[in-house]
Amino acid sequence: NPAAAQLLANTLKQTQLKGTVYAVFSALADKDIDGIVTPLCELITHWHVAPLNVERGATMQVLAEAIHRACPQALITQHPDLIQASGMANQQAKTGDIVLTYGSFYTVAQSCPQGL
């Protein structure tokens, strides 16, 4: 939800980030996606986005449009699923970088190859 996203953004700001922040992101279509994206916009350098494999999942188009509205200069890579999105973000990350998986509990669960 937007309040949790704001709390997450505040927490990241307090860590005095030195590296790149990669996001692995997806959300449910019936949630306030703009409100979940906006607080983290200035912190995330590269968004790795994939649709959720659930009926209520937002489409890739809805996710990308929400990110572009909030972060017009955002670098977004679209993936067919969250395992690939997570894998690519982790490949790109170097020591000192952060890979942030967020948006929905489903996002976290579907990003893990072995599940939760």
| Tens-place pLDDT, residues 21-75 | 999 999 999 999 999 999 999 999 999 999 999 999 999 999 999 999 999 999 9
Q: Give the pLDDT mean for 94-105.
A: 94
* Residue 24 pLDDT: 98
Please name the residues in contact with 91: beta carbons below 8 A apart, sequence gap of 6 or more.
none
DSSP E strand boundaries for the chain:
21-25, 46-49, 75-78, 98-102
